[in-house]
Chains A and B, each alone.
Chain A
Amino acid sequence: MAKGKRKVPGLNQSSTADISFILLIFFLVTTSMDVDSGLSRRLPDWDPDAVEQEMKIKERNVMTVQVNKNNEIHVKNGVLNRTIDVSELKDIAKEFIANPDDNVNLPIKEDYEIEGYGTVVTTVRHVISLQTDRTTNYEIYFKVQHELSKAYSELRDAWARKNFGKKYEQCDEKTEQPVARAVYASKISEAEPKQYGTEQ
């Protein structure tokens, strides 16, 4: 038994900092901070019975974008039928989707009822049909998707500025953005994969 008070010697804590530093560095190294980003798309439902079904759409409402095995983009719609550069695609798509001059060879404009907003005149029936070959490069396919996406968002933005008086991003997410999205709803149809010249 110790007599009186015995002083407990203090633990040397000078290395605790070093130990936790090592732990800290370990976590820094093993963790991934990179944020994933990308282009969102929604695939159509899989309906085995509908595979063979061809939709009947008036010719003026369709724009076909074909990317062939040489990565050339061929666009065909009521006013245009030629091979284009990817940089032209956005403006062509914008003109096709919006049909600003009421061209009879571009998609028909109709009254379209939007819930909670009212009736707008827009090209509800337009379809952009995107066709690719099995040997098309993914990069060019992505660029085409990106350009089409851009065409839609620029139209939505222009519409929002005109009707709500502000940018699309500044519109209310719950009430105003869905309206702008409905006016220019994205209608990109990707055809069932076809193989040109070879057996399935």
Chain B
Amino acid sequence: MPELNTSSLPDLIFTVLFFFMMVTSMREVEVKVQVKTPNGSSEIEKLERKSLVSHIYIGPPAKQYRATFGSAPQIQLNEHFAEPEAVREFVSAEREQMAERDKPLMKMSLKIDQDVQMGIVTDVKQELRKARALNIVYSAGKEKEKK
């Protein structure tokens, strides 16, 4: 039986590799809080352009941070836990990184654990209003419609 010519195999795999390199973005931040977002159904929209979206995480700290931060819900901006007041600074920093014409389209994705109480959420929302970041998305998973 003649042997299969595998000389083009590396090229094939390189093509796949390049494809993945192009379409994906590196995981940017390590999420230090436990977030289980609520589920919705028909009203959930996908966020199309990732470059417009900044994330704010709210939830109880992950296990390895419990010792230092306790188990009360925390706000995570970038890599750090923060107070609601820091949201404004975070928003202006994120806005700074965006292209000029995209600035009005900026979206804040609030990834909030479903067991968090509204107090902390309201504080963050008030700060977002002060920072004039008015487009928000309550991050949520999509539940399969039950038939």
Does the CB pair B142–A37 fall under 8 Å? yes
A193 to B141, CA, bound (A): 27
Q: Does A166 sit within 8 A of B, measured CB to CB?
A: no
Q: Is A46 an interface residue (CB 8 A)?
A: yes
Q: Is B34 an interface residue (CB 8 A)?
A: no
Interface assignment of A39: CB less than 8 Å from any CB of chain B: yes
Check if B24 sits within 8 Å of A32, measured CB to CB. yes
Q: Any chain A CB within 8 A of the CB of B139? A: yes
Find out whether the CB atom of A24 lies under 8 angstroms from the CB atom of B20: yes
| Bound CA–CA A27/B17 (angstroms) | 8
Chain A, interface size category, equals 35 or more
Question: In the complex, which of the residues B118, B122, B125, B139 contacts A37, with contact meaning CB atoms closer than 8 Å?
Answer: B139
Contact residues in A for B114 (Cβ distance below 8 Å): 137-139, 142
B115-129 residues with Cβ-Cβ distance < 8 A to A are 115-119, 121-122, 125-126, 128-129
Which residue of A21, A30, A46 contacts B26 across the interface (Cβ within 8 Å)?
A: A30
Contact B129 A43 (CB under 8 A): yes
Contact at B40–A39, with CB atoms within 8 Å? yes
Residue from B26, B109, B129 within 8 A of A44 (CB atoms): B129
Let me know if B115 and A46 touch, CB within 8 A. no
Q: How far in angstroms is the closest Cβ of chain A from B114?
A: 4
A16 shortest CB reach to chain B, Å: 4
* Residue A200 CB within 8 A of the other chain: no
Interface of A, secondary structure class, is: mixed
Chain B residues whose CB sits within 8 angstroms of the CB of A43 once the complex forms = 125, 128-129, 134-136
A36-B47, A46-B130 known; A153-B42 Cβ under 8 A = yes
**Chain B residues closer than 8 Å to A16, beta-carbon distance:** 10
Contact B17 A40 (CB under 8 A): no
Would B44 and A17 count as touching, CB distance under 8 A? no
In the complex, whether A177 has a CB less than 8 A from a CB of chain B is: no
B62 at the interface (CB under 8 A from A): no
Closest chain B residue, CB of each to CB of A32? B27
How far is it, in angstroms, between the C-alpha of A46 and the C-alpha of B25 when the chains are bound?
34
Residues B58-79 near A (CB distance < 8 A): none
Would you call A20 and B10 a contact (CB within 8 A)? yes
Within 8 A of B (CB), among A1-37: 13-14, 16-17, 19-21, 23-24, 27-28, 30-33, 35-37
Q: Which residues of B contact A134 (CB under 8 A)?
A: 117-119, 122
Q: Is residue A99 contacting chain B, with contact meaning CB distance below 8 A?
A: no
- Rounded to whole Å, the gap between the CB of A21 and the closest CB of chain B is 6
Whole-angstrom distance between the Cβ of B146 and the nearest chain A Cβ: 13
Residues of A within 8 A of B (CB): 13-14, 16-17, 19-21, 23-24, 27-28, 30-33, 35-46, 132-139, 141-143, 145-146, 149-150, 153, 190, 193
